[in-house]
Structure 1
Amino acid sequence: MRIPAVVSVFLIAASVSAFSQAPTKQQQIESHSRQAQEFLRTNQPDLAVREFNSILELDPNNVDARGNLGVTLFFKGDYAKAAPHLRAAVKQRPNLWKIEALLGMSERRIGQTAAAQADLEKSFPQLQEEKLRIQAGMELIEIYYGAGNLDKAASIAGVLRQLAPTNTDVLYTAYRIYSDLVGESTLTMAMLAPKSARMHQVMAQEMARQGNTEGAIAHYREAVKLDPQLPGLRFELAEALNLSSSAADQEQVEKEYQAALSDNPFDEKAECRLGDIALRASELESALAHYTRALELQPNDAEACLGIGKTLTQMHRPAEAEPYLKRSAQLEPFNAATHYRLSLVYRAAGRTADAQKELAEFQRLKDMKERLKQVYEEMRLQPVKQERPETDIAK
């Protein structure tokens, strides 16, 4: 089996001085160490193992040779033999975090789950190398997941998502854990409070996710009847109504957003939605007031920045709109509408190259969102977060 290059990260080179007058035993140790390194370099791990063992026959307390032997055996796949050597190295030098992580992985593979969990929990926060930290985190997640400890598994998944946000293995693992948490929480709620407002809210959210807007609205309305003061409920009902094709439902949208804002005066999302409604009705001053209030409530709200930019553009104030649109693009770079609006601002300012760049980005994101839409349609699901429609995109 070929030993990966990553082995070199763990190997602890013994110091060699060509000019020192070392004892005969020390000279032998240095010779075996050089030979082991050469065997590893030429991908001869079995011969390297022999050299490390020779060092340990000469000096059983040589932590460098002990750790190197354990690492080599680990990458050979001989976890049962690797574990004692890795454990001995960690016992002699407790801050060998990479060695302890490999020890935990070895222990897991030979069925010593409790010891593996302890060693991985201790070493994982200390690891600096991204590849090893991801591997250790994934191993720890599997231990937690196997024990049904989804909360701890989710905690590690969150760390790995920040560390490697584009790693598909990490993303899938997080998806699996979060899905199980949803299922577990739903089942518990269904058993404890099957007719509660919260249960209706959960059912509404699930129906909305499946694209059943009518069913979602029905459950949201039932939840409102049971507990009209439930935090966030009126906003979610308004969101569902906003997606409905029914004229009767559309007539209720503004009232529900206003109710959401009445229940929670600090709901910047409700302010944004009221701004959207005012903007579509060409009530520009009202729209600007809503978006501005939303941005005051949450200075990092990309939708509020976009709303202000759109409104100022329609008020023929493109220079004032530009910083808000640029801020929106920074906060949410994958919103196609923001780049389209920036292209309009740059075109009005005579900045042709910048306008073309933003228009190209708009088209790229638009195409990407279309592909994502097809994926969701194949899964018969609605995106968790849907961009507000640009009804005036051609203006």
Structure 2
Amino acid sequence: MVKYTKFCTTFLPRLFLFAAIPLAAQNNDDAIQLHRNAATSALKANDLSRAEREYLAILSIDPKNVEASSALGVALYASGNLREASAALQNALGLDPSQPRIQLFLALTQAELGQCVQALPALELQWKDQPDLRLRRLAGLSALDCELAAGHLTTALQLAEPLKAQYPGDPDVLYKLAGLYSRLWNKAAGELIQKHPESYRVHQLAGEVYEAQGKGDQAIREYTLALKENERAAGIHLRIGQILVQLAAPDSETKALAEFQRELAIDPESAAAEYAVGELFRRRQDFPQAAQHLQRAVALDSSLAEAHIALAQMFMAQHDPHQSSHEAGIAVQLDPRNAKAHYALMVAYRGEGKMDDAGKELALFQQLQQEHDTNFDNKLNILLTGKAGMGQTSN
């Protein structure tokens, strides 16, 4: 699951200041008023942790205070504590289901947690009807990410074009469009560079171009520049770590592990980063650490086939073919054309003594490998000669 890109911490406190639901006075209790005033002061100082404590203090006095519960939820969302934010916002919505702004922030939180099925109806409604343009932008971006994650490209297009029309030159919107349409890559990237030369997205985009070209050192340099502009940008440490693993220098895995751990410090809900850490520990045969991270990866995103493959490989290394075949079987179901998944299942079946099943998986693995090699050779031939091979297509 491609999760919703988190907003940088320098933006979130400002978001909260205009988006938080005002605490209407419910009674004349001096203690509640004192905590309310303290929360307001904390928000003005961008101290979200202190604001959260003040809202919790109000709720300890008045557990049914819907304004405090909703404000706590927004503060938790702004500070990146998504699961706690979801709980607080659901509690607020239970106290008062009529509040559209509570519904919006609950949907934004659910989307970042990967719960797009629950989030999309509210996001689409907010994108359509939300009068506050800043909140409407958040709803539109979040809904777009959910549609992209589900592979609904036509629906994403129908959302992306009016999103760009309403927020021309917005670096985040332009970044999403560049990812959605390869044919608009140059145009969108050019507009991004022209209108926002100071944005960390410019360096991130350049890093992705270099990465796609196999220029790892240049990509890392651009990603590092992006992090200088926005040290809390999600996904960049993950990309740097992946490049380091591919470079295979003597200390590259140690450096990559540090990058993946930095990614988790920014985004604790990153299944990809958890998988990357677990895979490195698996390679080192540190199976307790590998299991911890790989199992968390699949808990965060059960559709992550590569994490299930890594678990299957880990269990085989521990001489547990039954658990290995279970994980490899899940990977095959998730990604039937993944050659690595079929190979892992073949090895597990052999360990269980299921030789007929192992033979079938070996045949599937060899077929997929041959198709991959044929497609690669054909695409290379097209690049070199402009012509497809005999009886082959360029798809």
TM-score normalised by L of structure 1: 0.50
The structure showing larger relative contact order (alpha-carbon pairs under 8 Å, at least 6 residues apart) is 2
TM-score normalised by L of structure 2: 0.50
